[in-house]
Every structure is written in structure tokens, then in C-alpha cells.
Structure 1
């Protein structure tokens, strides 16, 4: 028994004697392996840190280069026509008789439209239409375009003192007048702008084309760095006056008047200090797929072959529908969360339970914006938006005053409205301004600007001021 345990113990002793060298060698090999692995880890860690650094630096550089460039509104100016071009209502009716062969019914129709239009007694018509008979022609249409565009541009350049060779982008919009050379070429020729300027001439896009031009300029400023963009918004009354007896085409004669505006945009970082506003959002909606929307503002010949623009009686309703789609897109960008939730809940309930009696909730945009510039297309359009958006009289004051003082100046009306708000000293730092425009097609476009400083009342000594009184 004892021999058995002695023999078993000897076997273990021999095993341990042979195992010790193996363990020692294994420990030596393991030590060397650990050292190699540690060195390898240190080398890999350096590679990882180096690669990570390059990734972070590359990503940062990519974000800096590719992120949207801020677009600043440095200044803007509106054309102030001379006083001798004013056309009181009675004078307009006398001119209307002379422009076309109007019967008594057509004459009375225009008189009623004027009474209900919201236009005052100080709106303007171009020189050619003050003549009896009218002297409307390509020559006089060019003269109107030059007076409006150059008058506003001279005012802008005088107030900003920018080097004209620093202007890299020029966008001009005029819906009904498209001469050759173009309006943008006329400006380049007049002011000697540089030969590689990116110039564009937009036509046929209606009263909303001003914000389309701003959108185009904004996109170009994302590509062309450290430059200025000029946007010129106008319409030509001389060339577009209707001389027939179709009542739907006479409405435009009663509403549209001389006007124009220019806007100076910049993507230069240093211009943030002197700029008035920063462009926050721009939303465009097009309803061209719908037949009624497409034809509600339509240029055509009447039964006698006279060219004119007909306005549908459903125009205000179509504008209201287009606005609803626009604010559905714009709302999430500007509204408080509470207002967004209320709007979303009513939409879901209305669709799930198919209850038509539930009215779509209209968010309180007064919580999102401090000032409203609604296109002064006519009193009906302003009334419709005031009701739809549940605005107060002060919110549509600029639109009504612009319509009364200048009439429908097409795409430039929203800039006369902004100038009106500024002339009252109402724009403070961080205020948000909502511009809403409508146009043929049918389009509803809106832009949101954020004031970068308290905007002082403009000085009459530096530029023409349309709201001096």
C-alpha cells in the first residue's frame, strides 16, 4: 500500500520535473509574445489615432465647404415715380376711354372695379399711357423699364457705395416684357458690370417671380463664393395694357401700376455686420397640375384678337388654397411645437375618422412672425389672407397701404411693404418677416427674413424713399 503511494508520488515528481522546463519556456515565449503584442497594439493605436484625425479633419473641412452659405440682404430700394405720373381715378377713367373703344357697360365696369380695388388717388402710370391717344410702343416700353430699373438701382448704389465690379450675379424678373437685348443686358450695359457676371432674365412667371429670383440668387450664392448678387423685380405696364372690351381682361388695367425694386444680396462673411436681414427660409409651391389654378391668370387674345391677361373670378379662392399648401411646408420650419402638434392632430383626426365637418386647424402664425408682407394684388387677396391666417389689421397694414399708395406693382409689391414697415421704425433685431407672393401658374411663394439689427428709418438724403410722408 505504501509502495503504491510511493510509486504514484514518483510518477508525479517525474511529471513535475519534466513540466517545469516546459512551463519556464512557455513563460518566456509568452513574455516575448506579450511584448510583441503590446508593441503591435501601440503601433495599431497610432495608426487608428492618425486615421481618426484625418477623418475628423476631412469631415470638418467637407462640412465647412459644403454647408449652405448664409445669404444676407445688405440693402434694398424701391422706385419712386415722379409726381407728374400720378393717375387719380377720374383721370384713369378718362384715359381708359381713350385707350380702347369702350361702351358704357365696360366703362361702368372699370369704374366699379376702381372703387372696390383699394387703390388710392396717388398711384402711377407710365408716361406713354398719359397721352391721348396712348403712345404705347416698344420704344416707350423700353423707356419705362429703364426709368424704373435704373432709378431703383441708382438709389441702391448711392446708399451702399459698393464697387460695381464686385457684383457677380444679376437676376432680373419681369413677366410681360421680354425685349432683345434683355433687361439684364440693359443693366449690364448701363452700369458697365464685369464681363463674366452670371446674369439671368426671368419672364412669364407672374407676380410671384420676385421670390423666385431671390431663390435663384440664393442658389447661385452657394456656388459662387465671396460675391454680391443683385435682384431686380419689376413689371412693364406700357406693353401690357389691354385695349379691348373683355371685362375679365380689363381688371388688370385697373389694378397694375408702375413700380420696381432692387435687392442687394451677399454671401460675404464680413457683410453680416452691415446687412439688414438674413434669409432663413424660402418655400415655393406650384399648382400647375390643376386646370383652374393653371388658367386663373392667363394671357390670351380676346375674340377680336386683342392681347390681354384675363383674371378669373375664382382667383382669391385659388390663392387661399395655394397658401394652405405653402404653410403646410413652411409651418414645421417656423412654428412653435405646440402649434405644430395641434395642426397635426386635427389633420390625423380628420383623415382617420373622415369627418368633413372638422375644420383644418390654421396655426397661429402670429407666434412665428413679427411682420407680414402679403402681395398687394388686390383688396380681395389681402382680405382673404387676413381672414385665413386670422391676422390683425396691423399685420396687413403694410399691404393695404402699398395697394393704396402704389397699386399692384406685381413682384415688387412685397418690397414696398417691407420699406413701409421700416419707415415706421418697427423692425427690431431678431424680428422675423414673412413675405408671401402669388403668381400665374398658379404659384404661392414665401420667404422668411430675420433682422440682424434694429433697422433705422431710412435717410431721405441717401436714397429715394417711397414712404417719405
Structure 2
């Protein structure tokens, strides 16, 4: 009977659609705008750009924030030419959301394209082999959105399965990677392009007591990661295995970190409580994540760490709470120093930095086998992924 035959085919396909192994990171690409601002010069740049030089006390406070930030430089798309063309951006009494959206609608996918092309080149397969696209940004307020634009720029197949994540903030990269893991492991042969692209232009504002901490931390950038399970033997090189993933929301912390669209762009709120909230909850999140893979008593210093560098205080608090050796968060601190906090895109830069550091180590036997990825965003939300070094795994015969 035709119905029975069809049902048998469906059942057979369901049994074989899952991957045999865990999702892996197969390639990484990053990109930044050309405009570089040294952190020591940022207060002068920012107060000059916004014509706020008369706010001397606030400017001095920003200088102190920048000096203690652990940041040396940042990349920022916004410049004097854009302000001259669109003065409404620095006039809080004039609506500017439409202007900002018009700019980022072009520039956000363009920056993502640059990062994605680097990842695809490293991957070594044609872009048309990508089956799924996940795009995360807080800069998007329009549809069709950046995912469709990026697919067109890269020449992906019309049948590519697209997902857009909006306003996940700094946890966007971690959330996108978790979704990519689920897709890769439940769709045999899937190759997922994760793209995160952020421009602070969408939330740029004139100096305000409640916002200068954020303006002193955030920069612009894009990260791209290709994820797939069961790497092919003819050229795919797994960089990190994603063994388990979880998301935790800290109850009662919705007030601490958030974003809201207004007539003057995206208004972000960043409480000084965030580093402490993360410190008070990180240990239990990590215990829960590692228990899910059968490790009930992990030694945190035996792991490698890919932590979103939301700010120096967040890294310091995690290091203190877990009693980590000073070099354990070196990759995150290096990215913070070189780029600042690029929101969801930053975790791709941290993974890339970890990969480079690992490649420089001569003794692969000494490399940690297990690691963890952490990202933090509105909620307050903690994204956790248990990672495994496929090179150490091979050397140890597991």
C-alpha cells in the first residue's frame, strides 16, 4: 500500500537524520570597521563628537572609566562624517531611529559578510554547502532583516534555512551557537553559519550619567562561526566540540540589563550590579552544566575558558569566585583589550584567540581537554556550553 510505504520511508529517515557525534566549530572569522579609537583618547573623541565639551565633570568620570576598563582600543563605525550628514543623531530632542536603522540595515550585514567570508575560506567548502544561517544582532529593526541580506551577499542557496535573533545583546553569540548545536546534531550533514554583527550607532547617545559606562565599553565588530557535526575526513578540521549547552535566567534581575527601542535609537540600561549578579550565580550554573556530562566535581583550573568579556569587573569577579589561575581568562582579557565589548559578536573573537593560542603551544599533551563557553545578556541570562578540545581527545585515545 502506498501509505504504508510512505510511512516506512518517513520512519527510516527519522532514524537516520541525527548526527553520530557532537556539533563542532569548523571555522571562525572576524571583522571590524576601519575606524580605530584608542581608549585613552575616547573621552575626548566622544565628548567632541557629541559637542558636550562643557560637561567637564562627566568627561572626567568617563576618563576614569576608560582608564580602568582594561581596554586599549576599539573599532567604531560612527565618525564625524556621519554626524555631519545626520546631526539628529546627537540631538536627543529630534527623532533619529529611522536614520540609524537606514544606516545599520546596510552596514550590519556588510560587516557580517566580511567575517563570514573569512570563515568560509577557512572552512574550504563553497558557501552553497551552508544549509542553515543564524544571525544575531541588536541593531536590526526591519524586515526582511540582516539574515536575508547576508544570505544574498554570500550567494547562499535560496533554500537555506534562516533564523534571526534580535536584542539578545551580549548573550546573542552564545544563544546562536547553542541553536547551531541543536540544528547540527539533529540534521545529519547540516552546516550552520552563525553570524553576529553589531554597530553601536543604533544606541549611540549624548553623555548621560546612566550611560557613560556602556559608552566606555562597547565597540563594533562581527563574528562568524561555521558549525557542523561529523566532520568530513577530506578537509574539515574541528576546532572545538560543543558537548552540552544550557541557558539560565537569574530570577528577579530583569531590571539589571536591558534594551528598549525609542525615537532616538536603542536605549540600553546596564546596572553596576551585573558583575556581582554573575559572580553570585556562576558557580551553580557551571556545576549544573558539567553534571549533565557526568562530571560532578570539576576542577575549574583544569579547563580552558571562553568567557564573554562583558567588562573587566565581570572577568575579575569570575576569576575570584572560581579561584582561577591568572592566565585562564587571558584570551578574554586580550579580546577586551584589543576590541572592547562587541556584544554578541565578541565570543567569536574569544574562540578565535583561544584557537591561536592553542596552535602556538608546542606540547599538545598539556592542552586541557575540557573547556567552557560563557556569555551573559538581558535577563540576566547566562549561556553555558561545555566544550571539548578534539585534538586532546585524539591524543588521549578517547
Question: TM-score when scaled to structure 2?
Answer: 0.82
- C-alpha distance in 2, partners of 1:420/1:70? 22
Aligned twin of 1:350? none
| 1:192/1:266 CA distance change after superposition, 3 Å | same
Describe the superposition over 1:3-44 as per-residue Cα deviations: whole angstroms up to 9, x where unpaired. xxxxxxxxxxxxxxxxxxxxxxxxxxxxxxxxxxxxxxxxxx
Q: Does 1:442 align with 2:380?
A: yes
- Conserved in 2, the CA contact under 8 Å of 1:284 and 1:444? yes
Q: Structure 1: where are the runs of 5+ without partners?
A: 1-58, 340-362, 456-469
**Structure 2 residue matching 1:408: 3-state secondary structure:** coil
User: Quick check: 1:98–1:133 contact (8 Å CA) kept in 2?
Assistant: no
The answer for the alignment partner of 2:249 in structure 1 is 286
1:111 lines up with 2:63 in the alignment: yes
1:366 counterpart = 2:304: no
Give per-residue Cα distances to partners, 1:146-175, cap 9 Å, x unaligned. 342011012112222312222110000012
Q: Deviations over 1:186-228 (max 9, x none)?
A: 1111122112211011011121111211121222234432121
2:257 aligned with 1:297: yes
Would the aligned equivalents of 1:285 and 1:444 in 2 still touch at CA under 8 Å?
A: yes
SS in structure 1 at match of 2:195: strand
Which sits farther off after the overlay, 62-71 or 268-277?
62-71
Q: Please tell me whether residue 377 in structure 1 is matched to residue 310 in structure 2.
A: yes
After TM superposition, list the pairs within 5 Å mapping 1:14-413 onto structure 2: 70-82=22-34, 85-100=35-50, 102=52, 103-120=55-72, 122-128=73-79, 133=84, 135=86, 137-243=100-206, 245-268=207-230, 270=232, 274-287=237-250, 289-290=251-252, 293-300=253-260, 308-333=267-292, 336-337=295-296, 339=297, 364-367=299-302, 369=303, 371-413=304-346
Q: Aligned partners of 2:291 and 2:186: how far apart in 1?
A: 27
Contact 1:372 1:435 (8 Å CA) reproduced: yes
Cα displacement (A) at 1:376: 0.8
When residues 68 and 433 of structure 1 are mapped into structure 2, their CA distance, relative to the original with a 3 A threshold, is same
Structure 1 residues 63, 299: closer, same or farther in 2, change over 3 A?
closer
Cα 1:130–1:411 shift into 2, 3 Å: farther
1:199–1:449 distance in 2 versus 1, CA, 3 Å: same
Gaps of 5+ in 2: 1-10, 90-99, 394-398
**Alignment partner of 1:255: what SS?**
coil
Match of 1:247, SS state, is coil
1:402-427 Cα offsets, whole Å, 9 max, x none, are 11111001122222122222222257
Q: CA deviation at 1:134?
A: 7.6
C-alpha distance in structure 2 between counterparts of 1:153 and 1:61, whole Å: 31
Aligned partner of 1:432 in structure 2 is 370
User: Residues 201 and 65 of structure 1: is their aligned pair in 2 closer, same or farther, counting only changes over 3 Å?
Assistant: closer
Give RMSD over aligned pairs: 3.0
Task: Give the TM-score, by structure 1 length.
Answer: 0.70
Aligned to 2:7: none
Matches of 2:261 and 2:223, distance apart in 1 = 30
- The 1:167–1:310 alpha-carbon spacing in structure 2 relative to 1, beyond 3 Å, is same
The alpha-carbon deviation at position 181 of structure 1 amounts to 2.3
Question: Is this contact kept in 2: 1:373–1:435, CA < 8 A?
Answer: yes
Contact 1:255/1:408 (8 A) holds in 2: yes
Secondary structure in 1 matching 2:279: helix
Q: Identify if the C-alpha distance between structure 1 residues 283 and 106 changes in structure 2 by more than 3 Å, giving closer, same or farther.
A: same
Measure, in 2, the Cα distance between the counterparts of 1:381 and 1:134: 37
**Structure 1 residues 336 and 305: alpha-carbon distance in aligned structure 2, compared to 1, 3 A threshold:** closer
Higher strand proportion: 2
Contact 2:101/2:202, CA 8 A, preserved across alignment: yes
